[in-house]
Amino acid sequence: MSTTPVNTPTIVLVGHGMVGQRFLEALAEQGTTATSRVVVLCEEPRPAYDRVKLTSYFDGKTPDDLSMVEDGFMERHGIELYVDDPAVSVDRAARQVTSRSGRTFTYDALVLATGSYPFVPPVPGKDAHGCFVYRTIEDLLAIEEFAKTSRTGAVVGGGLLGLEAAGALKGLGLETHIVEFAPRLMPVQVDEGGGAALLRTIEDMGLVVHTGTGTQEVVTADGSVTAMRLSDGTELATDMVVFSAGVRPRDQLARDCGLDVGERGGIAVDELCRTSDPAVYAIGECALAADGRVYGLVAPGYEMAQTAAAAIAEQEAKEFTGADLSTKLKLLGVDVASFGDAHGAAEGSLDVVYSDSRSGIYKKLVVDAQGVLLGGVLVGDADAYGMLRPLTGTVPPVAPEQLVLPAGAGAPVALGPSALPDDAVICSCHNVTKHAITQCTSLPEVKKCTKAGTGCGSCVKLIGQLLPAPADSGLCACFSYTRSELYEIIRTLRLTSFAELLDSHGREAARGGDGCEICKPTVASILASLQSGYILDGEQAALQDTNDHFLANMQRNGSYSVVPRIPGGEVTPEKLIVIGEVARDFGLYTKITGGQRIDLFGARVDQLPAIWTRLVDAGFESGHAYGKSLRTVKSCVGQTWCRYGVQDSVKMAIQLELRYRGLRSPHKLKSAVSGCARECAEAQSKDFGVIATASGWNLYVGGNGGATPRHADLLAQDLSDAELVRLIDRFLMFYIRTADRLERTSVWLERLEGGLEHLRDVVVHNSLGLCDELEAMMAAHVDAYEDEWAATLDDPDRLRRFVSFVNAPDTPDPSVRFVPERDQIKPDLTPLTLSPSAPALEGTLAR
């Protein structure tokens, strides 16, 4: 309860969503909470949470993770919060609000932040068992529970929330349909070209999209959903329907107490967010702004909240006369952004378009005849959004066609943050300009002082580029340390868990959390390289990405590849026969790779244990194609067979591969051994490569044959077998110890201060006195090595993860399908349509 004296003004806030919480923060910032009694009536059973990131609940976030209320905020500012107790009536004459529980509050100022409600088309069957809306955490909990016994879901609406809902159903293991009445997805944000690019990408993910048609009826049997009939005559067999066809302002409370509302809904307000009653304000999605629009985005709601808070405190308030509707989102993993006049509505506007249908990328800029940037649409690649949106209304310093071309094909001089004027709005959520951001020196300072970057987050990258020094050299938002610094912390303090590291060395805001997609696999790799333990035991399992989680590489259709290790490329006929029999019996696609291995493609996750049982029994072990670790040590046949060979390259390749197998590192490692200077194994394009000489071995390091090829550098020459192994031990452990996350040895060596000479000083001449320690760490790895698949097969608890559906372990994933090609198989990526008689598919997808 508030400790404010009873004769002070009382402010009652009805609704506690994102906008309502921003209003409370504005009151606190201007000191109003210290001089007023503030009461909040919240309809939901929990305080304000981030509705923009609602779908992240299905990615492992908890309701508490989504909370927008800082611990102790209400108590610190004396705010009275009543959850699960909405306002039910307003007596404007008596200036009183009554809640559902019967509480009555007299107000001096009343703020309505009641938000919006989902629009459900008035079709027959809309209230049947199995019909849901997608708006609150409670909605998500209900959807999650119902999905456990469902096989197919249909989402009505192909807008922002509709696509998020579809992604959630797909992630829950349901065959998913999207029904959109407009001729394209996201019709408000993107144009026809952008919608086509988005459609192709989403269909490639296995979702079935129906555009240009509406829902005519939800078909039921015994009160439960069985199908959905569309206006074009199509009938979709489904047992779950999620309505996400737009929202409507929640203005009933205002209507009941006689406040003015718009013809099509919304509580009418003026430029200071006052309703027709000067003592009552309305903000957010329930308000019809003075420009005649109801704004459904969070940024305009925040502006309204600040305006209303200032007006109530009788401070100078920035009038709300309209808002920027620009938005940048990631829907189903696809970047989508639009800004300004995205549809070219202005007379005489011109389009500049770049489209790459193969990659699912579409970019369009709208300009006028003088070259002024009016707006744009970005699908598939929205990295330029942060720069382009603030330039709206200006003539960019480079030609517009150069702004849409892919990297390397655009302007000869990159368009950087310096091109933005000081008054350019960088954070539209909190209306923060470039000038305000450049007064700060770090990203945390920017967030604390301006709140920029704390809303949707789309401006964070540009903020970092605007700061006078790099915004943050830390690994991610959870850690202010680099990967190499975290390695030293874990090694020195002998930490054994991610939670322990996060709580002791994470940023303050991250402590007690669960990390992010950047730091979790990075720390998992560090822990594995230092402990050499089974990577899926205990907490480690939750840190891994999909590939490590199932000890296999996921392919584009949801199947997995099986890659047994074949050291040095040497394999017996008996083992070749086993590989062939496994491929035949499980119907796998078989390919010999450039790394002298045989890859088997097309395995379902539930088949992996059976496949590996046969391979392990035949003497094979994991080839670690799924991990950031040693892949292969390629070799030629060497002096054993080749008339030019001067050393036994096969023997050395096998020795090295068996020594370094399973070694977790910042990035994948590739190696090769050539038996002579003719270099048939291409050793000089590898992370570490060995070439035989008449006197021993030459060691090359830092090569890369990938997208950015780099010739390896000669580190040492004419080495004996023992000298060669010792230097490779030191080189690899020094790399693992000092490299950044996902940094190949080629990039690391070029970044390393002093380059090759420094590396030679450290690992050859022991200039830092580290060599004994580096060798000991490698020896510990070699001694502790255990094949991950053999360890998995020996443990029934570990095997339980290898199912397509958690709640239906014997049910294969129906979306993993193949078609024949060249006497083998290839993924079938055509949309899957289940007939009404198809067997029920229960459970939640394991991946």
Residue 318 tokens read as: 């920035």
pLDDT of residue 471: 46
The CATH number that applies at residue 436 is: 1.10.10.1100
Q: From 749, 523, 725, 535, select the one nearest 626 (Cα to Cα).
A: 535
The bridge status of strand 669-674 relative to strand 688-693 is parallel
The answer to whether 650 and 638 have CB atoms below 8 angstroms apart is yes
Residues 31-82: tens digit of each pLDDT: 999 999 999 999 999 999 988 778 777 766 778 878 889 888 999 999 999 9
Q: How many other β-carbons are positioned within 10 Å of the β-carbon of residue 783?
A: 8
Last residue of a domain, one of 544, 575, 593: 544
Q: Are residues 126 and 223 in the same domain?
A: yes
Same domain for 39 and 136, yes or no, is no
Residue type at position 755? G
One domain, residues 140 and 287: no
Rounded CA gap, 385 and 337, in Å? 7
Residue at 808 is within a domain: no
The amino acid sitting at 679 is E
- pLDDT recorded at residue 71: 85
**How much is the pLDDT for 838?**
42
Is the same domain home to 641 and 599?
Answer: no
CA atoms of 280 and 371, how far apart (whole Å) = 45
Rounded to 10 deg, the angle between the 160-171 and 137-147 helix axes is 40
Query: CA nearest 85: which of 14, 136, 11?
Result: 14
User: Which residues sit in the known binding site?
Assistant: 636, 642, 676, 680
Same domain, 636 and 781: yes
Bigger pLDDT: 432 vs 700: 700
Q: What is the 3-state secondary structure (H, E, C) of 425-494?
A: EEECCCCEEHHHHHCCCCHHHHHHHHCCCCCCCCCHHHHHHHCCCCCCCCCCCCCCCCHHHHHHHHHHHC
For position 692, what pLDDT does the model report?
Answer: 95
- 739-776 pLDDT tens trace: 998 899 999 998 888 889 999 999 999 989 999 999 99
> Residue 545 has what pLDDT?
66
Q: 185-199, 591-605, 713-727 — which is least confidently predicted? A: 185-199
Distance CA 386, CA 400 (A): 15
CA terminus-to-terminus distance, the chain: 46
- Same domain, yes or no, for 141 and 28? no
Q: What is the pLDDT of residues 237-289, one digit of tens each?
A: 999 999 998 889 999 999 999 999 999 899 999 999 999 999 999 999 999 99
pLDDT of 542 > 80? The answer is no
The alpha carbons of the chain give a radius of gyration, in whole angstroms, of 31
Looking at 281, 312, 343, the residue that finishes a domain is 312
Q: Given 544, 563, 590, which residue is the final one in a domain?
A: 544
Helices marked H in 205-281 — which ranges? 252-256
Q: Has residue 816 been placed in a domain?
A: no
Band (pLDDT 50/70/90 cuts) for residue 709 is confident
Residue 652 lies in a domain: yes
Report the CATH number that the domain containing residue 113 is assigned in CATH.
Answer: 3.50.50.60
Residue 538 covered by a domain: yes
Q: Are residues 393 and 490 in the same domain?
A: no
For residue 579, give the CATH number of its domain.
Answer: 3.90.480.10
Q: What is the CATH number of the domain that holds 661?
A: 3.30.413.10
What integer pLDDT is reported at residue 453 of this predicted model? 77
Structural domain that includes position 615? 545-627
Q: State the Cα–Cα distance between residues 485 and 482, nearest whole angstrom.
A: 5
In a shared domain, residues 147 and 228: yes
Residue 723 has pLDDT above 50, yes or no: yes
| Site of tokens 């030459």 | 698
639 and 614 within one domain: no
Note whether residue 271 is domain-resident.
yes
Query: Cα(293)–Cα(557) distance, rounded to whole angstroms?
Result: 43
- Closest C-alpha to 195, from 27, 440, 360, 372: 360
Q: Please report the pLDDT score of residue 218 as a whole number.
A: 95
Model confidence pLDDT, tens digit, residues 775-826: 999 999 999 899 989 999 998 888 887 876 555 566 677 778 888 888 888 8
Binding residues for siroheme: 680
**Do 135 and 89 fall within a single domain?**
no
Number of independent structural domains in the chain: 7
CATH number at residue 330: 3.30.390.30
pLDDT cut 90: percent of the chain above it: 46
Question: What angle separates helix 755-763 from helix 721-738, to the nearest 10 degrees?
Answer: 120
| Within-domain flag for 96 | yes
Q: Is the pLDDT of residue 412 over 50?
A: no
Which residue carries 């071995």 as its tokens?
697
Q: Quote the pLDDT of residue 301.
A: 92
User: pLDDT of 446-479, one tens digit each?
Assistant: 887 888 877 666 677 778 778 765 545 788 888 9
- Whether residue 634 sits in one domain with residue 755: yes
> Does 179 map to a domain?
yes
In this structure, is residue 828 part of a structural domain?
Answer: no
Q: Are residues 448 and 389 in the same domain?
A: no
Classified as helix, coil or strand, 198 is helix
Mean pLDDT estimate for the chain: 86
Q: Residues marked as binding for [4Fe-4S] cluster?
A: 636, 642, 676, 680
Percent of the chain with pLDDT over 70: 90
Q: Where are the beta strands (DSSP E) in 547-659?
A: 553-554, 560-562, 589-592, 598-603, 630-635
Q: Say whether pLDDT at 665 is over 70.
A: yes
Would you say residue 390 has pLDDT above 50? yes
pLDDT reading at 845 higher than 60: no
605-653: pLDDT as tens digits: 889 999 999 999 999 999 988 889 999 999 999 999 988 899 999 999 9
Tokens of 234: 């199509």
